[in-house]
Amino acid sequence: MLADSGGSGRCRGRKRSAAVGGTDSGGRGRSSTPAAQTRRKVPEPGDDDDQSEKKFRKCEKSGCPATYPMCFASASERCARNGYTSRWYHLSCGEHFCNECFDHYYRSHKDGYETFSSWKRVWTSNGKSEPSLKAFMADQQLPYWVQCTKADCGKWRQLSKETHLSAALASSYRCGMKLNSVKVEGSDACSQPEDVRVAGVTDSWWLSMLILPPLFKDSPASPFLSSYYPDCVGMSPSASPSNQPPGNQRPEQRRAAQPHIPGLSPYFQPFYQPNECGKALCVRPDMMELDELYEFPEFSRDPTMYLALRNLVLAAWSRDCKEVLTLQKCTPHVVVRGLVRVRCVQELDRVLYFMSRKGLINTGALQIKWPLLPESQHNKVLVIGAGAAGLAAARQLQNFGMQVVVLEARERIGGRVWDDASLGVTVGCGAQIVNGCVNNPIALMCEQLGLRMHTLGVRCELIQEGGRVTDPALDKRMDFHFNAVLDAVSEWRKDKSQSQDAPLGEKIQEVYKTFLQESGLQFTDLEEKVLHFHLSNLEYACGSTLDQVSACSWDHNECFAQFSGDHTLLTDGYSSVLHKLAQGLDIRLNTAVQHVDYSGEGVTVTSRCGSRWSAQKVLVTVPLALLQKNVIGFSPPLPDRKLKAIHSLGVGVIEKVALQFPTRFWDSKIQGADYFGHIPPCPEKRGLFSVFYDMSPQGEECVLMTVVTGEALSLLRDLQDSQVVDLCMSVLRELFQEQEVPDPLRFLVTHWSTDSWAQMSYSFVKTGGSGEAYDIIAEDVQGKLFFAGEATNRHFPQTVTGAYLSGVREASKIAAL
């Protein structure tokens, strides 16, 4: 793309180009320039015969069609305008400046030299690319182009060189309006033809003839990217404040720190800061992602234009995620001189389309009244399951303009999200906690809907049976030892293949015993119990006893960037989010799907009651346990590769117990903490009510919620709900022996393991399996059958966030086919 001299605009330094300092003493270009040409001029009255012929020189840039270039700068009194000059300097097809204007700024004895020198000082203090004279002309002298906003016009007009383009002007400009007290067009300005150069900008080859990439001024992305060199992220160094902090420290030496942007949620961090990594749903503002390169290969050589547009769009979306981001909203913020602005707006439409399709913008709980995608991509889609994955996909697809029907077996939506308000507060019988809010789409939807998120504190008192609070130093010491054991397991698995896998619980015990033997240490009985508390937390995270979990792949997703930031409790529950997603969707409740036939051109779905639906695409979002038990039949059968992956994952189960009390008897001991831990009295009871959550720390209700995990689930198998509550109360009375613990007023107990349409809580990798199974389950079949759900999301399994994102992912795949 950057095939000419005059500075590249890239971030890597280059030698000074011939256009700046490599010409002869007169700045006349190469000695091999062709002889001057002449053109016949139609004589006008009064013209002398010897003036009827005028010398001219065409642009020497190979491929440039400009036979009679015109100088846009008009800086020198001797400006060639559209006449003869010893050399034309090419910026684009349609934009040139003459050698006389070059001299005006470049020669130290000329009037424009100080202007160029002042600009150069600003550019070098902020930027990284070469401050060439071509860069100066593109950044300071090219006229702006603006598009008429009248619906029946839309023509592009060139502004005078003195007129500065602002977002306000761009959003209100109409042909003929007065600028700087000058009416630029006639009263019938919109009827005037558009400059012929505009049509050329839309041609595919035009971009390859652009000498310098566009660098935006006053971009919405600027406050987000103050730690970067502006020209490395598509912005002009001349429009940016100095990036050099005290001590003359360069941007690449600065520590990663999120900029403070007034009014912006701290959970919205779309860009990595320099030297920052490992943050989910975050992009490098100075680099294209792999899927972006596939979509926009023309920018692989020089991505500056794409980065400028993408960064602008992401920043604008982060600033206002409650409204649909459109071309009309973004275009006024594309502030760049020259005809390239016309091309930028053209490419902006493509960028918005791509980012909307990928679910990076115009996503979440927005209900969009007009289709985001062209009519050619409007398929009929059936979605099986109205959980987080199914609703996310259906919302996206309907926003795209597709006809979507959701089939749900239950009498309600939500799937494994089910909230209960019978105890006076919302209790999530399924999920209720958002683990890491930065860039989390759940946090985005809470922002869109104005829903409350309670930030969970980090303090967790560990209480022993008998009522004694465990010394925090002892807890910290055992937590360190527990993590050291896991680190040792990680070292062991580095050179192990999948066939050499072992149960995680077995490896932990092996490493633990080896440590005790080699160190000669002996832990106290209390320290051993605290260790079992941490093991119960691990079983809670996995949703299974550790003897079923893969030692090689139990934390397979940790190699991918994860969500960071606060852990929060959704005060109104996940259902409040999912019900908003479901609004306006065609959802058929009490419709259990029995069979999916994708053998023909389309797909036919049959319910248990015999009803049939046909569509071009079908998305299956049922829980993993139902796929394993063949609750839905497929014709032809699913590929063996997919079936093997389905059975290589485990179906994890946890159960919850919630209790409402007349008083908050736990307040004095936990002192405002959001939860407290229960040290198990013996290994057999670890996981039995191991953590209690205060569901209303700032409210008047008195509700505790606790979980049962691992082997402790077997203790509840044959008990009635009232017996489970009695067992829980006996634990609470052990933990708070110093006071009288009242009987609960009301309670609830979950039964996910026996729920007909769930039969599980979330997935895990079984011994001998691998994280690749998640990707295999997510693969589509013949471009007609698609799969979503937490068990298809390798990066974020086991979470509502993962389920939601899998639905967005499949909607994008369906739209792209």
Per-residue pLDDT reduced to its tens digit, 427-478: 999 999 999 999 999 999 999 999 999 999 999 999 999 999 999 999 999 9
Within a domain: residue 98?
no
- Mean pLDDT taken over the chain: 90
Same structural domain, 212 and 307: yes
Predicted local distance difference test score (pLDDT) of residue 141: 97
Predicted local distance difference test score (pLDDT) of residue 252: 53
Q: Which residues contact 675 (CB under 8 A, 6 or more apart)?
A: 456, 460, 691, 692, 693, 694
CATH for 471: 3.90.660.10
User: What are the pLDDT digits (tens) for 126-141?
Assistant: 999 999 999 999 999 9
**Dihedral (CA of 273, 279, 282, 284) sign:** positive
Predicted local distance difference test score (pLDDT) of residue 181: 53
Predicted local distance difference test score (pLDDT) of residue 184: 52
CATH for 640: 3.50.50.60
Predicted local distance difference test score (pLDDT) of residue 383: 99
Same structural domain, 287 and 157: yes
What are phi and psi for residue 637, nearest 5 degrees?
-60, 155
Per the structure, the complete domain to which residue 606 belongs is given by 377-415+570-649+769-816
More confident residue, 99 or 180: 99
Within a domain: residue 203?
yes
Band of pLDDT at residue 258, cut at 50, 70 and 90: confident
Question: Does residue 1 register a pLDDT over 70?
Answer: no
Nearest Cα neighbor of 810 from 388, 362, 310, 279 is 388
- Asked whether 145 and 338 are in contact (CB, 8 A), the reply is yes
User: What are the pLDDT digits (tens) for 290-308?
Assistant: 999 999 999 999 999 999 9
User: What are the pLDDT digits (tens) for 686-740?
Assistant: 999 999 999 987 777 899 999 999 999 999 999 999 999 999 999 999 999 999 9
Give residue 309's identity as a one-letter amino acid code.
Answer: L
Find the mean pLDDT for residues 393-416.
97
Find the mean pLDDT for residues 202-228.
95
Query: Percentage of the chain with pLDDT > 70?
Result: 90
Find the mean pLDDT for residues 793-813.
98
Question: Does residue 23 register a pLDDT over 70?
Answer: no
Predicted local distance difference test score (pLDDT) of residue 26: 37
Question: Does residue 28 register a pLDDT over 50?
Answer: no
Longest CA–CA separation in the chain, Å = 116
Within a domain: residue 89?
no
Q: What's the pTM value of the predicted model, to 2 decimals? A: 0.90
Question: Does residue 36 register a pLDDT over 50?
Answer: no
User: Which pair of structure tokens corresponds to residue 154?
Assistant: 């839309």
Q: Which among 759, 781, 804 is the end of a domain?
A: 759
Same structural domain, 561 and 587: no
Same structural domain, 585 and 705: no
Same structural domain, 677 and 811: no
User: What are the pLDDT digits (tens) for 609-651?
Assistant: 999 999 999 999 999 999 999 999 999 999 999 999 999 999 9
Within a domain: residue 23?
no
3-state SS string for 524-562: CHHHHHHHHHHHHHHHHHHCCCCCCEECCCCCHHHHCCE
Band of pLDDT at residue 7, cut at 50, 70 and 90: very low
Same structural domain, 278 and 296: yes
Hey, which of 6-10, 46-50, 338-342 has the most confident mean pLDDT?
Answer: 338-342
Same structural domain, 400 and 326: no
Q: Which residues contact 398 (CB under 8 A, 6 or more apart)?
A: 404, 584, 585
Question: Does residue 366 register a pLDDT over 70?
Answer: yes
Find the mean pLDDT for residues 53-80.
89
Within a domain: residue 801?
yes
Predicted local distance difference test score (pLDDT) of residue 535: 97
Band of pLDDT at residue 251, cut at 50, 70 and 90: low
Within a domain: residue 126?
no
- Cα angle for residues 214, 218, 220 (degrees, 5° grid): 100
- Cα angle for residues 402, 403, 409 (degrees, 5° grid): 125
Within a domain: residue 685?
yes
Cα distances from 54 to residues 80, 360, 523, in angstroms, run: 12, 56, 99
Same structural domain, 711 and 747: yes
Find the mean pLDDT for residues 363-391.
88
Cα distances from 209 to residues 28, 61, 120, 201, 711, in angstroms, run: 22, 9, 25, 10, 69
Question: Does residue 59 register a pLDDT over 70?
Answer: yes
Q: Name the CA dihedral angle for 115, 342, 292, 224, rounded to a multiple of 10 degrees.
A: 50
Nearest Cα neighbor of 335 from 173, 190, 153 is 173
Same structural domain, 268 and 200: yes
Nearest-angstrom CA–CA distance, 164 and 450: 39
- Cα angle for residues 43, 47, 49 (degrees, 5° grid): 75
Within a domain: residue 442?
no
Same structural domain, 579 and 640: yes
Same structural domain, 695 and 555: yes
3-state SS string for 272-339: CCCCCCCECCCECCCCCCHHHHHHCHHHCCCCHHHHHHHHHHHHHHHHCCCCCCCHHHHHHHCCCCCC
User: What are the pLDDT digits (tens) for 95-115?
Assistant: 999 999 999 999 999 999 999
Same structural domain, 558 and 576: no
Domain count for the chain, please give it. 3
